[in-house]
Amino acid sequence: MVVKKNTDNVVYVEKIENEPYFPLKTCDYRFDQRNEMFKRRTWDEEFVEHGNRLYLDAKYDNSRYGYRKLDYALRNAAWNIEYGYAFGNMKSNFGLYSWDHVPAKAERFVKKGSRVENSKEVNAKIIKKAAGFLGADDVGICYAHPSLIYSHEMDLVKNEHRRLELPKGCTNVIVMAIAMDYEATRYSPDAIAGATTGLGYSQQAVVANYVAAFIRGLGYTAVPSGNDTAVSIPLAMAAGLGELGRMGLLIHPEFGPRVRLCKVFTDMPLQHDDFRPFGVEQFCKTCKKCARHCPSKSISFDDEITQTKGPSISNHSGVLKWYINPEKCFMFWVKNWVDCNNCVMVCPFNKPAGLLHDVVRYTIKSIPIMNRLMLLMDDFMGYGKFIKQENKCFWED
């Protein structure tokens, strides 16, 4: 439980007694979604024109593989559920992420006033089983720390900026990871790689909607969330789904940074997972591949983590971590006419499943002195190399 104070449009949080355990240090304020980079392009005069160019004026280049109308058609199809039905990048409590809407034909499946009662441990096991069955590639549960809920949402549907509060009692959050396609990611930074990002967003919307419907069917409140409502990465870390990498993304122990994250907040009693580091921070100090291959130079080369404040209002400042430069990253997207996955593609943790890769992950976790050797092996094996234009063959394979 926390006390909230509103000062100069900033919502601060103050710890009080008996607050549930949270395994990570958090900020003392709630981030305003209006300042998130992809919301700023709608109101910040410095970026409005650039945002329109990226989202409204994108041009095909039929002479370049990955930028042709064919490639953009795949990318746009992959985003279709998100932009046509889910709207998780547009507003909270809407579309497939509606907090309480139940279609008329489904009302009979939700019994008001009737709850399935189990222990927290049993409930957590049930939720994880259901979420996996319904499409999540990994699932974790943690306390929904109030400092990680947006103070305000930026509603791009109605172009409104307003305070945001979760329904009373929704203090638990189920965090789910959706893996993106490994082969398509290797085509970054073109529209084919962009398609795997869009597909991740569309799939996570469906999964979050399914899981929320399941919880409501058990008689509890369920608030599905994509990029809306709350900051995803620290919640995913607290739920045991990975560590924060140098590039500012979650590094999952199996899929690396190649995941999209969705969430469901609920008042259902649930046993919490815990943060489970596996050597990412130490490896990132040695690696720096993402920083070297970032076309916009948005990623820090610092050997040690010394900063608690980012260079921009779009950074969620206040904790010790590597901070990226969101403006530089966004402007490369504008220049490129499509999003970029270069940091994801070159990351040594971005590997398909396999015994050798499992051994490397175990070595990184257990024997950090071997990190430089693991990095040299990654380079020697040719991982993280960009596919040249003349070698691209996504459609021909």
Query: How does pLDDT run across 77-105, given as a tens digit for each residue?
Result: 999 999 999 999 999 999 999 998 777 66
Average pLDDT value for residue range 67-83: 96
Confidence at residue 93, expressed as pLDDT on a 0 to 100 scale: 94
Q: From CA 282, how far away is CA 140, in angstroms rounded? A: 23
pLDDT(319) > 60: yes
pLDDT tens string 265-312 = 999 999 999 999 999 999 999 999 999 999 999 999 999 999 999 999
DSSP-H helix ranges across 218-295:
232-238, 280-287, 289-293
Average pLDDT value for residue range 215-219: 95
Q: From CA 74, how far away is CA 193, in angstroms rounded? A: 10
Q: How many CB atoms lie within 10 A of CB 342?
A: 23
pLDDT(334) > 80: yes
Confidence at residue 81, expressed as pLDDT on a 0 to 100 scale: 97
- Token pair for residue 260? 């999209």
pLDDT(2) > 80: no
Confidence at residue 357, expressed as pLDDT on a 0 to 100 scale: 82
pLDDT(16) > 80: no
pLDDT tens string 347-397 = 999 988 788 888 888 888 889 898 889 888 888 888 878 888 889 999 998
Confidence at residue 218, expressed as pLDDT on a 0 to 100 scale: 95
Residue pair 257/185 in contact (Cβ under 8 Å)? The answer is: no
Please give the model's pTM, rounded to 2 decimal places. 0.94
Confidence band, pLDDT 50/70/90 cuts, at residue 197: very high
Confidence at residue 104, expressed as pLDDT on a 0 to 100 scale: 64
pLDDT(154) > 70: yes
Q: From CA 218, how far away is CA 222, in angstroms rounded? A: 10
pLDDT(4) > 80: no
Backbone dihedral region of 169: left (phi > 0), alpha (psi from -120 to 50 degrees) or beta?
A: left
Q: From CA 323, how far away is CA 247, in angstroms rounded? A: 8
DSSP state of 295: T
pLDDT(142) > 90: yes
pLDDT(14) > 90: no
% of the chain surpassing 90 pLDDT: 79
Confidence at residue 292, expressed as pLDDT on a 0 to 100 scale: 95
% of the chain surpassing 70 pLDDT: 95
pLDDT(52) > 60: yes
- Tokens 């008001």 belong to residue: 112
Confidence band, pLDDT 50/70/90 cuts, at residue 164: very high
Confidence at residue 271, expressed as pLDDT on a 0 to 100 scale: 98
Q: What are phi and psi of 177, to 5 degrees?
A: -105, 135
